[in-house]
Amino acid sequence: MNEANQAAAFEHAKEAYPRECCGLLVVCKGKEVYVPCANLGVGTDQFVIDPKDYARADAMGEIVAVVHSHPALPPTPSQADRVACEASGLPWFIVPYPNGQWAELKPQGYAAPLVGREWSHGVLDCYSLVRDWFAQERGIDLPDFNRFDEWWKRGENLYVDNFESSGFVRIDSKPLQVGDCFLMQVVSPVPNHAAVYLGDGLILHHLQGRLSSRDVYGGYWQKITTHTLRHRILLT
């Protein structure tokens, strides 16, 4: 990134503070241009590029990098940054506003651990953990879905609306086996949390604002379970 684009991104970070700014580096008519984008993310520690701004940048030329800021924090890439960088297939630049050294991140095959991963909605959340477990442990590629934070408060019912098309069926009355999934209702009008059954009475899940963990399936978790699911490939 050249000095002019660094200056433009730094100014954007200043305007967005204390929230993260986000933008794209685009090759337009033979020159790299920084294109600022609206951040649709919730809170001050995440960003979601507005799809309209992404489309606008894409129409200008070739998108060659993603840029975002770490307000008042070191530019050290978070787990969510590293996972999202891998998904984008592009280099990432982190703006260290208000001071510090810039950081550059490139796709290198990183995968977040199943246990102990940080929370970032839409990147490292309960459904991301379910997808990663099935990919790593069963070789099953589950579809991903665009989702805004607290979608369950917006009249959406993503788990219930999509589990059948994702290959799952209800097995509420069958004995549990490793790989079964639980849909749970955590202070929500609809199921908004998912967990994978690991056997021996344990589940793997990622609760909002916490690290992903293994927990005993019983008590509260069993009480708020609304659906027990099994992937069709695993039906016996």
Count: domains in the chain: 2
pTM: 0.83
- Show which of 105, 134, 157 is a domain's final residue: 105
Q: Whole-number mean pLDDT of the chain?
A: 94
The model's confidence at residue 137, banded by pLDDT at 50, 70 and 90, is: very high
The stretch 122-144 carries a mean pLDDT of: 96
Is 193 catalytic? The answer is yes
For residue 65, which of 39, 83, 92 has the smallest C-alpha distance? 92
The model's confidence at residue 2, banded by pLDDT at 50, 70 and 90, is: very high
188 has pLDDT over 90: yes
At CB < 8 A and 24+ separation, what contacts does 171-174 make?
171/228, 171/229, 171/230, 172/227, 172/228, 174/228, 174/230
Among 22, 37, 85, 126, the active-site one is 126
For residues 84 and 174, membership in a common domain is answered with no
Among 68, 70, 205, 206, the active-site one is 205
The model's confidence at residue 172, banded by pLDDT at 50, 70 and 90, is: confident
- Show which of 75, 105, 135 is a domain's final residue: 105
The dihedral sign for the CA sequence 39, 131, 156, 206: negative
Looking at residue 166, its pLDDT comes to 97
CATH code for the domain of 193: 3.90.1720.10
Is 205 catalytic? The answer is yes
**Residue span of the structural domain in which 198 resides:** 126-234
The stretch 143-147 carries a mean pLDDT of: 90
For residues 151 and 59, membership in a common domain is answered with no
Among 70, 193, 206, 231, the active-site one is 193
The stretch 135-148 carries a mean pLDDT of: 93
* 116 occurs within a structural domain: no
CATH code for the domain of 93: 3.40.140.10
Is 227 catalytic? The answer is no
